[in-house]
Amino acid sequence: MYKKIVIILLLSEIIGIIYAVMLGVIVTILSFALCIGQLTKKSSLPVPSSPPEDADSSVETRNPEKSHS
């Protein structure tokens, strides 16, 4: 009778250790995934865009191919 109780206690401790190790591995993997996600996340700062060209602008641009004629 005494040996059965000891075996049951040992098995429950082994199962607890296995679950603790599994939990540690899962938490570590999720932590790495979260850190990598934060590092690779795109910046939320707005990208300055070039101002749209005004069709009524008084500045004329030359086409370099036609400037030789």
Q: What is the DSSP letter of 61?
A: -
Length of the chain: 69
Is 50 among the domain residues?
A: no
For residue 19, give Cα distances in angstroms to 13, 24, 46. Answer: 10, 9, 46
Is 4 among the domain residues?
A: yes
What pLDDT is recorded for position 8? Answer: 80
Per-residue pLDDT of the chain in tens (69 residues, 90 and over written 9): 667 777 788 988 999 999 999 999 999 999 999 999 988 886 666 666 665 565 555 666 666 666 555
Q: How many CB atoms lie within 10 A of CB 23?
A: 10
Q: How far apart are CA 36 and CA 32, in angstroms?
A: 6
Is 58 among the domain residues?
A: no
Domain that holds residue 26: 1-37
Our count of domains for the chain comes to 1
* Global pTM value: 0.49
